[in-house]
Structures are given as structure tokens and as C-alpha cells.
Structure 1
Amino acid sequence: MGEAHAPSDATEPALAAEAAEVAAFREELGLDGLIDIHTHFMPQRVLAKVWAYFDAAGPMIGREWPITYRLPEPRRVDILRSFGVRAFTSLLYPHRPDMARWLNDWAAEFAARTPDCLHSATFYAEPSAEDDVRRALEQGARVFKCHLQVGRFDPLDPQLDAAWGLLAEAGVPVVTHCGSGPVPGAHTGPAPVERLLARHPRLALVVAHLGAPEYEEFLDLAERHPHVTLDTTMAFTPFTEEWGPFPRRALPRLEQLGDRVLLGTDFPNIPYRYVDALYALRDTGLGEDWLRAVCHHNAARLLGS
């Protein structure tokens, strides 16, 4: 898998120009930095397979999806820092059993050598799930990732019940890809999540991608469950609006939930520039107070950063 295949807009002059654009965006809001709850760093062999899947427009992707920031790991970290991202995640997700623990060990090591990375962890529906989550919490994990589309498991799988209980008790947020975009999965959509929250009402669940494309159903869910937040990953960008447009009638509801919306981007696996995601949020017209809360304040409060 070639790091030499970086697209033209990831050249050094373009990255410097983009950093200046992000700085101007932050300055307009009076923010010294951003907190991005949804970024990905992985062992290189895992990331290479993820990129290959995107390159092939695999069944869970469903369309052409170029990777903008296909660069070596140290450069990707430097790019986020140059954008003023003061805290970010290394969200990982297993697609089969016997992966979660070694992914978590890698993430713990990555966080130890990358102080601005929020120590991230994951789990899978398997007999070791409770032990894996407990071990990651003891290692200091501050955010977890649960990918129901890729993992293809029911969040109500009995093997996960104790793990969810540990996470609810700890109050550690779990970024969960549970919406049915870009391609529905066997256990995506709001119904399984509603059942999960009925069982674990104190779970600090972060609905990735604003729940796309079931935006309004996940807004319903967030309005009923005070510990649920939503992240903005890829929302409102032209790329996402082509297949899953956010209903403009729901913007006032998103504004009302402004203290429970978090910046997420999917960096580096996005088919456009990082700053374009920020512009897309600004173009919602929800205002500077909303943007400040989304881009920094809400995540700082949730994570104690």
C-alpha cells in the first residue's frame, strides 16, 4: 500500500495553505484550538488494509472514496497539530474476534508517545469483551470506538452486556457508528441503539456521523437520552449531501442540542480537505456560539480536556 499515492492537495504547499485557512477559521471563533473526537490512527498493516478497502470501493463503502491524507503516520500527526487540533483520537475497530486486545495495546502505546492523542480503545462481541474493556480502562482509555457496520454484531449481544455496563459506570464515551450510511448493516439504525440505551441508560454514547442517514431518528434518541451526544463526522459536506442530505427542517433541533454535538472528521480517511468539513459546519448558519461549542467546548467538557 503506497504512501507515495498522496493526492495533489496533500502536497506540502497545499497543506501549509490549508493550515492557514484552519487558523483563520479558529481566529474568527476566538478558539485557540479544536478537539476532534473522530480521527483514525492504526497499526500500519491495518491502515493499509483499510485504505485498500476504500480504494476498491468495497461493499460497505459503495462509491469511489479517495483518501486525501495518505501520508506517513508522523506527518499525519503533524498535520493535525498544524491545524490547531489540540486533542484527537486513534479510533480503531475490529472486524473479527481476537483483534480488540492487540489493537488496544497498540493504541495505548500510540497515546503514550503522542500526548495530544486521547487514549482510545475498542471491543468486539466475543467472550473476552468484558476483560478487554476492563483492561483498556485500567490502561487509561478515555474514549472507545464501536463500529456496528464493520463489526456486524448486535449491540445487545449477551457477550457485550458486562462490557457496556463497565463503560456506563465509568462514564467513558463510546463513539459508535450506528447509522445506516453509507451502506446499511445488519445491526445499524436507531432501533438497536434504542434497545441498548434502555438497558444501559447512563451509557455515554457518541453517535457518529450525526447518525446518517437516519438523522432525525437519532435526534429523537438524543432528545430522549441526556447522555447521548452526536459527532459531525462528514456531515453537511458535499460528499455526504449527495447520498444522505441532512434535512434542513431538522437544523433547529440540532441547534437546540448544541451542547451535545461534537466535532468529528474521519481524518485521514476523507475525500476532501479537513478545512472543508469546518466550512460545511459554518455554512449550516447555526452561528458562532454553536460552532465554538461544537469545535471545542462540548468535547472539552465531556472529556475533561
Structure 2
Amino acid sequence: MLTDAGLPAFLDDLGLPGFVDIHVHFMPDNVLRKVWDYFDRVPPTVGMQWPIRYRTDESVRLDTLRALGVTGFTALAYPHRAGMAAWLGDWALTFGAATPGCVPSATFYPEPGVLEYVRAFLDRGACVFKSHLQVGSYDPRDELLDPVWGLLAEAGVPVVCHCGSGPFPGEFTGPGPISEVLARHPNLTLVVAHAGSPEYAGFLDLVEAYPRVHLDTTMAFTPYLNALAPFPDELIPRLHAAQDRVVLGSDFPNIPYPYSTQIQALVDLDLGADWLRSVLHHNGSRLLALP
């Protein structure tokens, strides 16, 4: 069984220089603490508690990632209301520019001026955007976002989108709404967070229908998420076939178990060393345009 301390040796055995994790959260301190407070208050009806495993200062979290062998990562931040996305994106871009290994990240929200600030973020070098349909409670088909999706599709910049209905469904979650966005913008580089939990099959359909749709592994296949929304065994062959469209995500630091649990869960799928190399490093490196 892998441990955090054993991950560098595991990487060596695979011949990889490090993990590339497309779903890591760094945020302004006051925002992150509100996120942690939210997880601390996860209702008992969910069936599990959600203790934050890596609840440490920012500098300690960065040192932890490096010790784990993570060499490329994001600083995903996301707004829950209008008026937040512009300054969150500015913070994430500034953080990424100053932090070795962290790619410039940004976000958006359906509000007046969204196209202008997304264009400005791209001009500043944003390599990845975060969209959270559940927390933001917005419709991805909003007319304010249509030119944004088009701009991001043209730029080829990935959008990590929480569009699945786990752990709580939202009005605009599930494959339906985002599939209409893809129908209008079929070249959009969409990364479906949490492998689309719990609508795994529906999001695999999108991977197979659109050449730039990917799944991230965030929490998927772990004992924790499998207790809530198990990944169906009959979908494993389709996951194997999607080798070039599955990318490592973890939700670090906001996870209730060691980082190595996510890696072990991927190993336990028994899809082979080549699949692991693609998922743990190569696909993420390509999506984030890492050297």
C-alpha cells in the first residue's frame, strides 16, 4: 500500500519526473478558510465526515506537494457569486507567476464584463480556468458565457469544470447542461472534475463524443468516494480506452485522506503502467503546456 513518503520511489519505478496534478487549490487565505469551514460543516446526511487532511499554512502546503513528488499543479479558485471572479483570477495568476511548479490559473462567472476579464487573463498567460457549476449555481448555457466558452475553445486553454452532481446535485449539474455548451463549442478543452461523479457513464459519453473532453481523477476510485458513488466496474474498459483523456486530479489540500490514497486507487484499477504514466504525468503536462 502506497504512503505519502513512498511516492517519490513509486515515481522512479514508473520512470516519471513527477506528478502533474490539474486539480489543486490555492486561494487567498480568507477564502480558503471559508472553504475549510464549509467542509467542516458537511451534514451527517452525506454519511461521512470530511476532515481536511492538509490544513496547514501555505508555505507548508507547497513544501508538502514537492515532497510528494508533484512537479506541476494548479491554483484553482472559484467564485460563488458575482463580483469575485476578477479578483480571484488576479490572485491566482499572481500566485502562479511567483510559485515554481504552479501554472497560471484563473476563473470566471456569468456577469457583465466576464468576456473582458477572461480575455485579460489569457493575455496574462492563464493556462487553465476553473468553473464550478455546483458552488456557483449558474447555468453554463448563460448567454453571458457563450462568447467566453468560444474564446477559451479557440485559445485551447483547458477549463476544469465541476459539472457532475456529486456530492450534492445542483440545478445545472449533470451531463445535460454542459453537453449543450459542447454542442455549440465542440473544440472546447473541457476537463470534467471528479470523473463526473456520480454520472460517470454520461460524462464518458462526452469524452467519446468530443475529442478535447477529459476526465480528472479527483477523489474518484478512492474508498472515500466509492462509499458515496462507486465507479461501476463495467465502465473500466471505457476508462482504459480513454487513456489519453484522463488526467490526475486530487483536490489537495481539501481531501479527507492522504494524497497517496488517490494514487493507490489509480494503481488498483490495474490498467497498466502505460496508462498510469499517461494519467499521472503525460496528459496533465500536455494540457497545462508544461515543458
Match of 1:122 in 2: 107
Match of 2:178 in 1: 193
Q: Retained in 2: the 8 A contact 1:60–1:183?
A: no
1:106 and 2:96 aligned = no
Q: Retained in 1: the 8 A contact 2:127–2:289?
A: no
Q: Distance in 1 between matches of 2:71 and 2:101?
A: 6
Which of these residues, 184, 202, 206, is aligned with residue 191 of structure 2?
A: 206
| Local SS of the residue matching 2:56 | coil
Letter in 1 for 2:174: G
How far does residue 60 in structure 1 lie from its aligned partner after superposition? 11
> 1:140–1:288: structure 2 CA closer, same or farther, 3 Å change rule?
same
How far does residue 20 in structure 1 lie from its aligned partner after superposition? 2.7
Q: Distance in 2 between matches of 1:177 and 1:61?
A: 18
1:216 and 2:173 aligned = no
Q: CA offsets per residue over residues 66-105 of structure 1, 9 Å max, x none?
A: 0000000011011101111111000000000000010011
Q: CA offsets per residue over residues 258-285 of structure 1, 9 Å max, x none?
A: 0110000000000000011100000011
Which of these residues, 276, 279, 282, is aligned with residue 264 of structure 2?
A: 279
Q: Which has the higher contact order (CA 8 A, sep 6+)?
A: 2
1:231 and 2:216 aligned = yes
Letter in 1 for 2:81: R
How far does residue 19 in structure 1 lie from its aligned partner after superposition? 4.3
Q: Retained in 2: the 8 A contact 1:60–1:182?
A: no
> 1:62–1:101: structure 2 CA closer, same or farther, 3 Å change rule?
farther
Letter in 2 for 1:155: P
Alignment RMSD: 1.5
Give every structure 1 segment of 4 or more consecutive aligned residues whose post-TM-superposition deviation is greater than 4 Å.
Answer: 58-63
Matched positions, count: 289
Match of 1:14 in 2: none
Q: Retained in 2: the 8 A contact 1:175–1:205?
A: yes
How far does residue 62 in structure 1 lie from its aligned partner after superposition? 7.2
Match of 2:29 in 1: 44
Identity of aligned residues (%): 59
Q: Distance in 2 between matches of 1:107 and 1:220?
A: 32
How far does residue 24 in structure 1 lie from its aligned partner after superposition? 2.3
Deviates most, 37-46 or 99-108: 99-108
Query: What TM-score do the two structures reach when normalised by structure 2?
Result: 0.96
Match of 1:182 in 2: 167
Q: Distance in 1 between matches of 2:113 and 2:44?
A: 28
Gapped regions of structure 2 (runs ≥ 5)? none
Letter in 1 for 2:180: R
How far does residue 58 in structure 1 lie from its aligned partner after superposition? 5.5
Match of 1:140 in 2: 125
Q: Distance in 1 between matches of 2:65 and 2:43?
A: 27
| Local SS of the residue matching 1:159 | coil
Q: Distance in 1 between matches of 2:14 and 2:146?
A: 42
Match of 2:234 in 1: 249
How far does residue 218 in structure 1 lie from its aligned partner after superposition? 0.5
> 1:72–1:61: structure 2 CA closer, same or farther, 3 Å change rule?
farther
1:240 and 2:225 aligned = yes
Match of 1:259 in 2: 244
